[in-house]
Amino acid sequence: MSKISITLPSLYSAACKRTIDNILTTSVSHDIEIIVVGSQETLSEIYDAQRIDHGQVIWQLDQKRNGCNSAHYEASKHATGEFLMAFADDHLLIHGWDNLVVDYFRLYEIQKPFLLGQRQIARPGFLGHIGTVFGIYYPYFPFMRTEDVNKIGGWLSPDYRHGFGDPDLALRVWAAGGYCEWMDIPTIEVITEEDDKHHQDHGQFLANDMILFTNRWKDKYGKGWDVSHVRGFNIDRQINSLPEGARTYYHNSP
């Protein structure tokens, strides 16, 4: 079986512990390596007990404190798995997710580099959507071969503090002649806002991240797109509005 390295930034000890326990109890066949990057406060509250309970967890102090993308990137430097996956402490994985993801990846890896996106389970008021930038699909929860990550310049870029790390990764894959697609079976459950108050500002975009992203990619993919505001080019697409059986989206013309 394969080894999966999971990069996991966290500022909250309770959420971090919940996520680690979830990952380890829902993985059924593959070796799992969770690389946690967090503050001294976060790690000190759970480090000793977790280290005894789970040898699969690697703890890294977030010395740079430069946002989640930087933490993902620093975590990826310690990855030893065949596959690399980014995760967040306000989501949960379903039982057997590792078999579903690896089997799907191997089945549909028809060209390299290949970047696979896991999807969230639909719930009331949330029918499921995918993200696009400049009309091009990017995965929210990227899953990729570690060797291919290294060939395209690394994991989520530390150049972005909070937003745009995942679309930047996807565009680097597309630009390298690779391919991005999503799984047809959702594997991720969202923690509701009521259960997770500390993530009230999760997902907000910083203006400097958006400017950096559009300056980096607008000449190649952004011609004709409105880059003056985030929803002029970063547009969610509802799954049920796409052709049946679709697994990717690439319509670069605005």
**91 near 160, Cβ under 8 Å?**
no
Q: Quick one: pLDDT at residue 44?
A: 67
**186 near 140, Cβ under 8 Å?**
no
Q: Output the DSSP codes for the chain.
A: --EEEEEEEES-HHHHHHHHHHHHHH--SSEEEEEEEE-HHHHHHHHHHHHHH-TTEEEEE-SS---HHHHHHHHHTT--SSEEEE--TTEEEPTTHHHHHHHHHHHH--SSSEEEEE-BPPBTTB--EEEEETTEEE-SEEEEEHHHHHHTT-SS-TTSSSSSHHHHHHHHHHHTT-EEEE-SS--EEEPPTTT-GGGTTTTPPPHHHHHHHHHHHHHHH-TT---SSGGGTEEEEEGGGSPTT----B----
Task: Say what percent of the chain tops pLDDT 70.
Answer: 87
Say how far apart CA 232 and CA 30 lie, in whole Å. 40
pLDDT, tens digit, for every residue of 143-197? 999 999 999 999 999 999 888 999 999 999 999 999 999 998 999 998 865 444 4
For residue 50 the two structure tokens come to 């977790």
Beta pairing class for 129-133 and 234-238: antiparallel
**142 near 169, Cβ under 8 Å?**
yes
Q: Is residue 54 pLDDT above 50, yes or no? A: no
pLDDT category at 252 given cuts 50, 70, 90 is: very high
pLDDT, tens digit, for every residue of 114-152? 999 999 987 655 558 899 999 999 999 999 999 999 999
Task: Say what percent of the chain tops pLDDT 90.
Answer: 69
Q: Quick one: pLDDT at residue 9?
A: 94
Predicted TM-score of the model (pTM): 0.90
**120 near 232, Cβ under 8 Å?**
no
Q: Quick one: pLDDT at residue 154?
A: 97
Report, as an integer, the average pLDDT of 226-252. 93
Preceding peptide of 113 cis, ω within 30°: yes
Q: Is residue 64 pLDDT above 90, yes or no? A: no
Q: Is residue 40 pLDDT above 80, yes or no? A: no
Q: Is residue 222 pLDDT above 90, yes or no? A: yes
| Choice between 231 and 52, residue whose per-residue pLDDT is larger | 231
Q: Is residue 51 pLDDT above 60, yes or no? A: no
Say how far apart CA 148 and CA 32 lie, in whole Å. 19
pLDDT category at 240 given cuts 50, 70, 90 is: confident
Q: What are phi and psi of 236, to 5 degrees?
A: -80, 140
On average, the pLDDT of the chain sits at 88
The β-bridge partners of 59 are 36
Q: Tell me which CATH code domain 3-241 carries.
A: 3.90.550.10
